[in-house]
Amino acid sequence: MNIELLRASNLRCFEKVSLAPGPGINWLVGPNGAGKTTLLEAAYILSHGRSFRAGGRTAPRRRGASDYLVYAEVLRVDKSRVRLGLTRVDDRWVGRCNGEDLSSLAPLFEACPVVYFGPESHTLILGPAEERRSFLDWSVFHVEHASLSLWKAWRRALRQRNALLRQGAAERDFEPWEHEMDQLAVRIHAMRSHCLSGLEPYLVEEASHLVPELGALQIHYRPGWDEQMGLFGQLNLDRERDRERGFTQHGAHRADWSLVFGDVAQREHLSRGQAKAAALVCALALTRWLNDNVGEYPLLCLDDLESELDAVHTTRVTQWLSGRLIQSWLTSTRTPTPDTLAAGTRVFHVEHTGCG
């Protein structure tokens, strides 16, 4: 899919901004603080219902404004056009598709997939499991839309069990919730592991091109509990300890997966630049996997690619891009030299006028 037009209001430094990118590579160039990342963030918000930056869902709201809005006109691979809008009003989202109010944001996420890589992306490799779970669950959603309602049901059951733990409830009160958690977790696990085994060959292939120096790649996945025991048995076993801690230690909310490179003894040995390159492997693999499984490339956002990536890795990525018909938005503080620009590349100069 291609975003043909992006508009945002009251988003960070922009009172109003619009961008009409081309179908291929688009460079967004400007000085620090100009709003380059904010434009990528706008597209990402449409596809995730949250920002990739810290600070919660109201942080992108321009200082002094009461709400913010992101709007995009998207050309799908089947040549249909969709108009998508998302407004943050107080503490809730209002989503619109082709002028109709939406009761759930799922149609937005589906119509406008955006894969983002940026200066903090090394946390996908080195940071908390939550980052990797979000990456995986967002991927799962694109092939299994029903996953949204499963996660909702899971969160409800988990909240309920945690409340029972804190209330010192009787054993029998736990059983129905633990049964439900067991059933939900098995389904979530099946979707996650199926998705990850589909992604694995893409990850392996991209790693062999982008970071061959790290050795052969394997993917390790943990569902969040002892699979042999089953979650129901595990929750039973954990109950007294969970009561002391006041929360549930095992379950679908504790799943994790990791990239294990043959020539790296443990992931903490990766330098920041190597971890960033490994995160880039994930972004490129996800981009191709989405195309092969959903029939459409996402928008690929590469924010400040040169920071901490050396020239060799940066060149490998730009070569990867120029060989494919993917809409991509790349940011830089420096205008790329004409000899490095692939045919059809567009360059936009981002300026902020009156940061609020």
Give the footprint of ligand ATP on this chain (CB under 6 A): 12-13, 30, 32-38, 61-63, 304, 333, 355-356
d(CA 199, CA 284): 11
Give least dist CB 40 to Mg ion, A: 8
| Pick 158 or 330: Cβ nearer Mg ion | 330
d(CA 118, CA 315): 16
| Pick 70 or 157: Cβ nearer Mg ion | 70
Of 18-57, binders to Mg ion (CB under 5 A) are: 36-37
Give least dist CB 120 to ligand ATP, A: 11
Residue 276 · residue 309 · CB < 8 Å: yes
Give least dist CB 24 to ligand ATP, A: 21
Give least dist CB 318 to ligand ATP, A: 19
User: Which two tokens mark 106?
Assistant: 């799922």
298 binds, among ligand ATP, Mg ion, none (CB under 5 to 8 A by kind): none
Give least dist CB 282 to ligand ATP, A: 21
| Pick 37 or 51: Cβ nearer Mg ion | 37
| Pick 32 or 266: Cβ nearer ligand ATP | 32
Give least dist CB 66 to ligand ATP, A: 13
Asked whether position 121 contacts Mg ion by CB under 5 A, the answer is: no
- Look at residues 279, 267, 268, 344 and name the one whose alpha carbon lies nearest to residue 305: 279
| Pick 12 or 36: Cβ nearer Mg ion | 36
Residue 77 · residue 296 · CB < 8 Å: yes
Residue of minimal Cβ distance to Mg ion:
37
Q: Say how many Å lie between the first and final Cα of the chain, rounded.
A: 33
Q: Where are the alpha helices (DSSP H) in the chain?
A: 36-48, 106-111, 123-126, 129-143, 147-167, 171-210, 230-245, 272-294, 311-322
Q: Return all residues near 6 (Cβ < 8 A) that are at least 6 apart.
A: 18, 19, 20, 21, 39, 42, 43, 70, 71, 72
| Pick 34 or 195: Cβ nearer ligand ATP | 34
Of 274-333, binders to Mg ion (CB under 5 A) are: none
Residue 329 · residue 21 · CB < 8 Å: yes
Cα four-point dihedral sign 250, 253, 255, 256: negative
- Residues interacting with Mg ion, by CB under 5 A? 36-37
